[in-house]
Structure 1
Amino acid sequence: MNDDSLNASFTTPWQASGQVGIGCRLHQDTCSEYTAGNIDEVTIWNRILSPEEVADLQAMTDASTGHARPALAADWGMEETSGSSASDSSGYGHTATVAAGGTWTSDTDAGKGNVLSLNGTSTANATASGPIVDSQGDFTVAAWAKLDPRALSDTTVAHHMRITTQSGGVRDSWGLWYDQAAGSTQGMWVFGRTTADTTSASVVKVPADIASAQLVDPGDWTLLTGVYDGAHHQLFLYVNGVRQGAQGDTDTDNDTGDGVVFDNPWQATGTFNIGRGRNSTGAYSDYAHSLVDDVRVWTGVMSDTAINQMYINEVPIPL
């Protein structure tokens, strides 16, 4: 709706030829009056926007949730059959380099077609230059994984297999992985974050323990979706479209959203990894012995409904 009362008359325009200032007032090419806050997605047009176009810009935020609508930032479909590159179809050019331990294979019998096979060694990974998204803001990450059960059969030791991670200088800022404790034949899928880019940093993860996890066969194709709600400092994990055991205060006016609280986000600027992650010493380890497919990253918080629908749309049908 147009409201003329919101318009102001200005009849003396003039042509400016200097710099554009963002976050400050420019006077004679010198900044002053700095902004105390955050600025994002600055865009300038050389024309008048229609009211409909302005409404579309505003719609980038979901009015029902207050979250930014998810925008695809990277998409590795793993449709290659040869070579050492995994293409990114998002349009942002995040081509991943596949190391020697990663090979292309077909899992047609399980209904997935072409996929990336990782053999669990130090060269079994794919990496892309990062960061892919702002680790301090809202983001969503998803991947299909199918672990090799033989690599988990030795119960005398613990098993940790990283599917996706975003590295910093020493630690991973966040990642999706599988944990199986020593002495156990059952493990759990995890979405976790470290509190700092240091070897002494702690790890916060969801689910917090196996008692609150949805136990699935890791040898089956599984859709893992991790969500970080930066506005409310919440971690969420979905396994096959189902939200995992979380915690929160839903009985008061200070609703935490039922996610695991994480209020130490930090921006990682290292590589985005598929099939490996950094341990507490800063070294890469936790190599995945797994098939991996359809690794994607979005800015924004994907809704429960959208995540569940993604699983329904993509669940493989074995032959």
Structure 2
Amino acid sequence: MISRRQWITGISASGASLIVPQAFCREQQQARVVSTWDFGVGANQAAWKTLRAGGSALDAVEQGARWAESDLCNATVGRCGNPDRDGHVSLDASIMDGDGRCGSVAALEDILHPISVARRVMEKTPHVMLVGAGAQQFAVEQGFRKKNLLSPTAKEAWQEWKKESKYRPQMNVERLSKAMPGDKTNHDTLGMLAIDSNGRLAGACTTSGMAWKLRGRVGDSPIIGAGLYVDNEVGAATASGVGEEMIRNAASFLVVEMMRQGKSPSEACLAALERIVKKREEASKNLQVCLLAMNKHGEVGAYALHHGFVYAVCDHDKDERLLDSASVYAKS
């Protein structure tokens, strides 16, 4: 297993945008993929196989998200995700191409790859989002197999939680590679953005949502403009943390619009967070919101409300790094 220290080759404590060298690779001059959290390293590696072969950003982010949904096996993404308070594992996901096409699913149960179902919604239906039983029915009709996703570890954690049954969304802290199944982190999301060798952008977002949520709760991840937004003319953004705040502020869309006005990715993320703080200053002190952005030139930036958010960057086979995001509130 690659250690976290091996992943880190640079730190972005100031939140300055990371700029791609104009000619870092002869064959793939612009190709790049970025993801939220330290498990984004593995997701990036899966996505890079597609980009390295000259594939599209859309195909790349789907493959990266599928890795997280099946191989990662942690408490907040895909199989092994913690259930709601009634013991049901429900999954949310969205995918968006830079040309404006998008698809998503929410509160999807018993289907291993919600990101691929979301892509089918985008490509096979006139809709953007399918939810609940309807999303599952569509998935089965498209050839996806139903599978019980409640892992023994998640079931044990749920049974332990039921002893008190207190719902307290916990602030995200920096994740470590050893914190996988059964960890104490309440909520993380894989958000992924990519630019391919043709300069096309795409993004994906996938999660099992907040542990012990009310059944039927939907966060920001499957909502276009909240958890994910992509525009080839400007850039792309994705989010992690307490999804209700992203929904209230259309956070990912806001970040892209800030970049449209000329802000760098980091500046755009910070501007969106400042709006969240302005509206809900007291609440913002006790919850985490993390934003990650990439503009059409391949520049990357991130910002979070609180210290601890990390994001993974991959340009080519020997250039992977895990970077610390700047934060609005200083480390306590």
Tell me if TM exceeds 0.5.
Answer: no
Larger radius of gyration: 1
Greater fraction of residues in helix: 2
TM-score normalized with structure 2 length: 0.29
Greater fraction of residues in strand: 1
TM-score normalized with structure 1 length: 0.29
